[in-house]
Chains A and B, each alone.
Chain A
Amino acid sequence: MIGNIVAAITDGGEAATDFESIATVTVGAGGSANIEFTSIPSTFQHLQIRYLGRGTFNGGDVEVHMQINSDTGSNYTRHFIYGDGSTAGAGSATSQTKIVLNDVPAATSTSGIFGTTVMDILDYTNTNKNKTVRALIGRDKNGSGVLLLSSFLWSSTSAITSIKIFPSANNFAQYSHFALYGIKG
């Protein structure tokens, strides 16, 4: 996806015609229990979410979860490969009630360090396909860190109209930043 976007820009010589900002949330001083993008327009071919996240959970890291169209059923699947600085591995999970995007730093991590994610949600309005998400996820804390290449399946053919992102405990911390973009076909 990212490569295709770049190719379109460089080949056409025209920037900024196919990649548009839909909505952005920056978490304020009080923190936020979740980030919700609602009433997502159907005028794009794909979506991209880019975020920097940190949690208020009183631990070193906290998981980030995502649900689509408020679906809390066991309709999510994931596969991933990861590296934690010493070991490379892979894993999967089926019949999940949410997408698990791995961890971001939390309250006991050094202040000012956030986890980063770039994810693409493909063909999100198509009502003939289950929905697929791919993500590049990472955090480095100068001595520890994890990197993941993940894919997710939402077993539903519904068009995606809303996305909720939330930490597994407590809130997202101040300055966490979530941006939703649309990509034209």
Chain B
Amino acid sequence: MPKTYEPIATTTLGSSATEINFTSISGSFTDLILVGRFSSTTLIFGGMNLRFNSDSGSNYSYTLLEGTGSAASSARASNTTAMEMGYNGTNDAGQNIIIQIQNYSNTTTNKTAISRYNSPAGQVMSYVGLWRNTAAITSIRFAVNNQALATGSTFTLYGIKAE
């Protein structure tokens, strides 16, 4: 059986940055997993957004589930210009996110991603998002609205290859 689950690239910020980019993603895997451990530089609330292949059109949507410790809620947005996969409500230094993107390189289906986002001081969240495009994903941009990612934030992109 082939062994799989390989790190493709890791970025650890030496200084604050407004976004993280993974480019020239190989099509040789079946699924992608983006793992982030990060904090932001301000207290402004903001969504954590993905864009694929530099597409800034209104081609994204998402549905979310959130638990704050006292209440659970759900929301959605359609025809957005990025795919929200988490939401920073506390500027927690321990934020982490795992985003799963299946069948990212096929050219016949729209792309769906599903995430788990944790802010230990604030909330737990999960998202499912849609990118209405059948193109193979070759680049991923991760950014937090209205904020910069703080020094030391680290992101790794993994690939899983099915037999």
Contact = CB atoms under 8 A, between A and B. Distances in A.
B158 interface: yes
Contacts of A147: 63-65, 74, 114, 126-128
B75 to A, nearest CB: 6
Contact of B112 (A3, A20, A116): A116
Contacts, number: 172
B130 interface: yes
B110 interface: yes
Interface residues of A, number: 52
Give the most central of B67, B73, B109: most A CB within 10 Å: B109
A182 B128 CA distance: 25
B61 A9 contact: no
B74 A20 contact: no
Interface of B: 1-7, 30-31, 33, 35, 61-67, 72-76, 78-79, 98, 100, 102-103, 106, 108-110, 112-114, 116, 126-130, 132, 134, 156, 158, 160-163
Interface of A: 2-3, 5-6, 9-10, 15-24, 50-52, 81-90, 112-116, 118, 136, 138-147, 149, 175, 177, 179, 181-182
Interchain residue pairs A-B with the least CB separation, the first 6: A83-B74, A138-B128, A83-B65, A85-B76, A145-B63, A21-B163
